[in-house]
Homo-oligomer: A and B are copies of this chain.
Amino acid sequence: MTTELRKIAEGAKEASRVLAQLPSDHKARALERMAQKLEEGLEGLLKANGCDLEKAREKGISGAFLDRLTLTERTVKEMALGIREVAALPDPVGQVVRMWRRPNGLWVGRMRIPLGVVGIIYEARPNVTADAAALCLKSGNAVLLRGGSEAFHSNMAICRILQESLKEEGIPQGAISMVPTADRSAVLEMLQMEDLIDVIIPRGGEDLIRTVVAASRIPVIKHYKGVCHIYVDASADPDMAREICINAKVQRPGVCNAVETLLVHREAADRFLPQLLSALRDRGVEIRGCPRTRERAPWVKEAEESDWGREYLDLILAVRVVESLEEAVEHIAIYGSDHTESIITRDYANAQRFLKEVQSSVVLVNASTRFSDGFQLGLGAEIGISTTKLHAFGPMGVEELTTTKFIVYGDGQIRQ
């Protein structure tokens, strides 16, 4: 494998030099063709997906995992739609983000350029293949994809269609490529190619990400987990608090921006904690509370120390009554995952303090944590969420797949 994989990565690097110079309209045409050909290739895609599904069933896989693996006419149409949405985004490449003049007459600017070759390592959902490829192409990057072994045939079929589209548009096929084996050792090989791959973005569970970080010699953009907090301040509006808590916990409990811990100021707890928790219980949420929560709602299960900072990804919520905003901020600093936190308040100063003092990637006032998402925040798309601070912090769109170079216009300046 080593030689073959290296050749593919070299092809990606070569293609990246072409992609960096590709005009926006050329990229847009290629994306439109990718969308079209995916729709036209429906039959072949369903057939390839059938192979994966059969194997998965043989292995006894079922439930949500099998659902995510399954392609249908609808999911293929959604893939095509997703690509068209990416095509419609502004092209970040070549944007001059700032320009200024130096006393000696030099004009200095910073221009966005692609990162180069992006390696994406992801788990079962085959739609990520089209999605990630489109975002990388839009931002002028070549992409080397490594999908989950369970979706191997589906991913290869999608990749072949994307490559054909590139070919028809005169773009090197190395721009989008797939590690052509389900063998796990290929991932380790990929992670050593620091001379060919500029960044690795793993998408999947915490285990996958920790494995990648430990093995990689290439910089990794990390998303460990989302232990999101909502702090209900003393002055919070009870109706708003209830609606936001229900939305943040119940709308889609299995995702990283769902709330996992509720912190409630003692005064708010006195005013309306039992009603708030009943409303959540009525939506099927299991509550695990601190002693002061249970004083107010004795039916609540007792929280253990391990409940603080835990990512349930399920209809479970840890609840703690706090004495002050300081205590809430401190709790988040200790147990949080730097992902997303929200304050519900009517107090101006507390809103501003929370926004300033909480050092998570997304900090909200009076809004659901579920807005922590590239689309919802207005980035137009999302390639992933970073919970560490280097390069990008929080949801990442196409701009986060670029860096800036300095450009300098002179007329003969030399240094004194």
Expressed in whole angstroms, the minimum distance between the Cβ of A343 and any Cβ of chain B is: 10
Contact indicator per residue, chain A 367-387, by CB within 8 Å of chain B (1) or not (0) = 110111000111000000000
Q: A113-B359, A366-B412 are in contact. Are A393 and B389 (CB under 8 A)?
A: no
CA distance A367 to B364 in the complex (A): 46
Expressed in whole angstroms, the minimum distance between the Cβ of A409 and any Cβ of chain B is: 5
Q: A362-B406, A362-B408, A410-B366 are in contact. Are A116 and B389 (CB under 8 A)?
A: yes
Residue on B nearest A357 in the bound complex, by CB: B21
Q: Which residues A28-53 have CB closer than 8 A to chain B?
A: none
Q: A389-B116, A412-B240 are in contact. Are A20 and B359 (CB under 8 A)?
A: yes
A219 within 8 A of B: yes
A206 within 8 A of B: no
Query: Which residues of chain B come closer than 8 Å to A256, judged between CB atoms?
Result: none
Expressed in whole angstroms, the minimum distance between the Cβ of A17 and any Cβ of chain B is: 7
Assess whether B243 is in contact with A412, with CB atoms less than 8 Å apart: yes
Contact indicator per residue, chain A 343-365, by CB within 8 Å of chain B (1) or not (0) = 00000000100011101111111
* Chain A residues touching B, majority SS: mixed
Q: Which residues A80-100 have CB closer than 8 A to chain B?
A: 94, 100
Assess whether A390 is in contact with B403, with CB atoms less than 8 Å apart: yes
Assess whether A371 is in contact with B17, with CB atoms less than 8 Å apart: no
Contact indicator per residue, chain A 87-119, by CB within 8 Å of chain B (1) or not (0) = 000000010000010100010100101011000
User: Which of the four size classes fits the interface of chain A?
Assistant: 35 or more
Indicate how many identical chains form the complex.
2
Q: Select A17's contact among B246, B333, B372, B414, beta carbons within 8 Å.
A: B333
Residue on B nearest A97 in the bound complex, by CB: B97
Q: A244-B412, A357-B21, A391-B390 are in contact. Are A363 and B407 (CB under 8 A)?
A: yes
Assess whether B389 is in contact with A198, with CB atoms less than 8 Å apart: yes
Q: A94-B356, A359-B113 are in contact. Are A365 and B408 (CB under 8 A)?
A: yes
Could you write out 6 A-B pairs with CB less than 8 Å apart? A108-B377, A355-B407, A365-B409, A367-B411, A371-B408, A393-B405
Q: Which residues of A contact B (CB under 8 A)?
A: 17, 20-21, 94, 100, 102, 106, 108, 111, 113, 115-116, 198-199, 213-214, 217, 219, 237, 240, 243-244, 246-248, 251, 333, 351, 355-357, 359-368, 370-372, 376-378, 388-395, 403-415
Q: 19 other contacts beyond A100-B378, A214-B217, A366-B412, with CB at 8 A cut-off?
A: A21-B356, A219-B219, A219-B388, A243-B412, A243-B414, A248-B414, A359-B405, A360-B405, A361-B405, A364-B408, A366-B409, A367-B409, A367-B412, A368-B415, A376-B415, A377-B408, A392-B403, A394-B406, A395-B406
